[in-house]
Amino acid sequence: MTRPPVTTAAGARAASGPVTTVIENVHVATMQPGAPYGAVRDAAIALAGELVAWVGPRAECPAAPAARRVDARGRWATPGLVDCHTHLVYAGNRAAEFEMRLAGATYEEIARAGGGIVSTVQATRAATEEALLAQALRRVDALRREGVTTLEVKSGYGLEAAAEAKMLRVARAIGRERPLTVRTTFLGAHALPPEYAGRADDYVEAIVESMLPQVAAEGLADAVDAFCERIAFTADQTRRVFEAAKRHGLPVKLHADQLSDGNGALLAARHGALSADHLEYTNAAGVAAMAQAGTVAVLLPGAFYFLREKELPPVETLRRHGVPMAIATDCNPGSSPIASLLLMLSMACTLFRLTPEEALAGVTRNAALALGLGDRGTIAPGLVADLAFWDIGAPAELAYQVCLNACVGVWRSGQPVFGAP
Ligand SMILES: [Zn+2]
């Protein structure tokens, strides 16, 4: 039996008040660093309101006579899962384009037929907030059934002030409609809108001078992201967006080095980014800079799979430099139409050769870090009691088994939201 180290996590708050609930007869993958999975078999978790007060071997659980006792019937508990990179607010879908591509159509033919990101932008601009929310909630509910309790959502299919703000309002509404935490990211620099064709610098000017200040003033975004790539924005344009984000007190993230080595990871690290995402073509200097800056590597195996990419992200170099690796769905209509974080655990292992433990850390501890959330991601005293319960014999099953959702219950902030442990 291994015990979690008795450490206080960075975002821990002092649990106020008495222990309200004790979950017992449970095995816990605390995901605290140290022992594999931070695992404690035959454990107990004591909660004080919305926070974890204590976790450890059941035999050592402090007495709490007034607490509600919950029998987890030998199930495993992990931290609630965190999907730290999604674009799941959008209208329409790209199934017709998928079909055309498989029938041999070229990108140019697809674009001429109205496909590509422009089709998603047009559909999203035309959709009402209610319609966008209804579509998004289907994806969110699929993720919730797999234990997701914290979710990041990016804008980037509006590409004009009003439609970007609409997407972010819908993302905020998800967190009111469903019991999960939503972090929103402004991604105005996702693609060049058609009305700015050939005038990328002018569009970046509009982002910096008007769109971003408006989003910041309305409190719609928790972070700012950009797509730095030959087919999107240059390093110089990305830098301008980052500098504007800093002026508005917003942390940054970056879609970096997905299709080519554009020194995106280096750029992200130099701006103290929370995360650099994709990273298939990232070079060693970029990885070293990320390690120094504390920038999290967010790996997105779903996009790698769907686009049938060949270049693997530099996992061994990331390991050697101790860069925390997160995993996310990248749920979006064009390159990762996937609403399963558990499938990403499998793909991270089979495609990117992560260990099952690294993959689980990638959707818990490190995913929380990628969002700048120090109050969750492990099960530890003082952290938010977001918990997922699993009908498994060992944590490695979560990455091993495909399409057999073993999630039997989810608690958020110390309260059950569905199922039972
Ligand atoms: Zn993305």
Q: Are strands 21-29 and 39-48 parallel, antiparallel or unpaired?
A: antiparallel
pLDDT of 175 > 80? The answer is yes
Residue 116 pLDDT:
87
pLDDT of 318 > 80? The answer is yes
Residue 8 pLDDT:
52
Residue 230 pLDDT:
86
CA 18 to ligand 1 centroid distance, Å: 42
Residue closest to 68 by CA, chosen among 103, 117, 19: 19
How far CA 193 is from CA of 79, 108, 256, in Å, comes to 39, 17, 20
Q: Are strands 296-299 and 81-83 parallel, antiparallel or unpaired?
A: unpaired
Stretch 48-64: mean pLDDT, rounded? 95
Helix (H, G, I), strand (E, B) or coil at 359: helix
3 burial level (CB within 10 Å; 0-12, 13-18, 19+): middle
Stretch 157-179: mean pLDDT, rounded? 98
Stretch 135-146: mean pLDDT, rounded? 98
CA 379 to ligand 1 centroid distance, Å: 28
* Dihedral pair phi/psi, residue 325, rounded to 5°: -110, 125
pLDDT of 73 > 80? The answer is yes
Residue 10 pLDDT:
65
CA 125 to chain centre: 24
Spatial separation of the C-alpha atoms in residues 260 and 131, rounded to whole Å: 36
CA 272 to ligand 1 centroid distance, Å: 19
Spatial separation of the C-alpha atoms in residues 416 and 50, rounded to whole Å: 11
Burial letters 240-252, b for 16+ CB under 10 A, else e? bbbebbeeeebbb
Residue closest to 300 by CA, chosen among 86, 93, 97, 120: 86
Stretch 349-378: mean pLDDT, rounded? 98
Spatial separation of the C-alpha atoms in residues 261 and 137, rounded to whole Å: 35
Element (H, E) at 114: none
pLDDT of 295 > 90? The answer is yes
Residue 16 pLDDT:
64
Residue type, 326: A
CA 396 to ligand 1 centroid distance, Å: 27
Residue 12 pLDDT:
77
CA 330 to ligand 1 centroid distance, Å: 5
CA 49 to ligand 1 centroid distance, Å: 35
CA geometry: angle 370, 246, 223, nearest 5 deg: 35
Taking the CA of residue 347 as centre, how many other CA atoms within 13 Å lie in the half-sphere pointing to its CB? 25
CA 87 to ligand 1 centroid distance, Å: 6
* 15 pLDDT tier (thresholds 50, 70, 90): low
Element (H, E) at 29: strand 21-29
Any idea what DSSP says for residue 209? Answer: I
Residue closest to 225 by CA, chosen among 205, 202, 250: 250
CA 300 to ligand 1 centroid distance, Å: 8
